[in-house]
Structure 1
Amino acid sequence: MAGKGIIIREAHFPGRAPIEAYGNGGFRFADMSHRGSLMCLPTGIHGWEPANPQALTVADFDRLLAEADKVEILLVGMGRDLRPLPAALRAALKDAGIASDPMSTGAAVRTYNVLLAENRAVAAALIAVD
């Protein structure tokens, strides 16, 4: 009986994992540390560097939109402060059938972990905080 081998993907943790800690400009998950922002998708956790974290664009979410059929809820950790998502981004997510919820990164991490534990179709885009 042939089993599936391990698939190695560049800059990608191939699985879903709760975020164990955040701060100091990065995150800890799956007994690993990552410096910088993260995008947590059903296909795994990716390093994510939006061009301007203060002005997110649709292009910053291309990877997420490619998996839109697997995502119902997107939590956006906006850093320390809550800011609304730009209208064009909200519209693109809505058109893809994804409910978006901007919040502070800390709140997004906590909410992501709860929804992940409930096995929900959740994704998170988390801007690193110091």
Structure 2
Amino acid sequence: MDLTPLIPVGRQIIETYGDGRFRITNVAHEGSVLVFPTRTLIWPVREMAALTVDSLAPIAAGAQAGEIDLLLLGCGPRLAMVPRDLRANLREQGVVIEPMDTGAAARTFNVLMAEGRRVAAALIAV
């Protein structure tokens, strides 16, 4: 039985994660990534302490383009709090941020993609 959610054609799906890498729509990526509905970018953030407004600039640009309105933040092996000023900055851009561990963020991204939601994921590699 295939349990893979039905992802619309042309949309990203996170297939695997772990050992410091991801496999997204049949492409392997080393390190952390930003996953948008139609593309994946390498992301230089390796830990929550390096998370800044500038590091999430592509997310703000995606929101301004009407591509996303929800960001799933994969914080690494466990949930961490998002700094209040960063959360407020994203909110001003029209983006709601939901932090969770990276595995949960990857799985949730796939479910929301299957639902056709305007979601992106910022995933710190584990």
Task: Tell me the TM-score normalised to structure 1 length.
Answer: 0.82
Give the corresponding residue for 1:35: 30
Report the count of equivalent residues.
114
The answer to whether the Cα contact below 8 Å between 2:21 and 2:32 also exists between their aligned partners in 1 is yes
Task: Tell me the TM-score normalised to structure 2 length.
Answer: 0.85
Moved more, 17-26 or 33-42: 33-42
RMSD: 1.3
**SS of the residue aligned with 2:113?**
helix
Q: Percent identity?
A: 47
The answer to whether the Cα contact below 8 Å between 1:16 and 1:45 also exists between their aligned partners in 2 is no
**SS of the residue aligned with 1:67?**
helix
Matched AA of 1:19: I
Separation in 2 of the partners of 1:71 and 1:30?
19
**SS of the residue aligned with 1:70?**
coil
Separation in 2 of the partners of 1:65 and 1:41?
12
Give the corresponding residue for 1:25: 20
- Written as runs of structure 1 = structure 2, the 5 A alignment for 1:104-119 is 104-119=101-116
**SS of the residue aligned with 2:108?**
helix
Answer with 1 or 2: which has the greater Rg.
Answer: 1
**SS of the residue aligned with 1:128?**
coil
Matched AA of 2:115: E
Give the corresponding residue for 2:68: 71
Separation in 2 of the partners of 1:16 and 1:59?
26
Give the corresponding residue for 2:52: 57
- Stretches of 4+ moved more than 3 A in 1? none
Following superposition, the deviation at residue 43 of structure 1 comes to 4.5
Whether 2:81 is the aligned partner of 1:87: answer: no
Q: Which runs of 5+ in 2 are unaligned?
A: 1-9
Q: Which runs of 5+ in 1 are unaligned?
A: 1-14
Separation in 1 of the partners of 2:106 and 2:115?
14
Following superposition, the deviation at residue 42 of structure 1 comes to 3.5
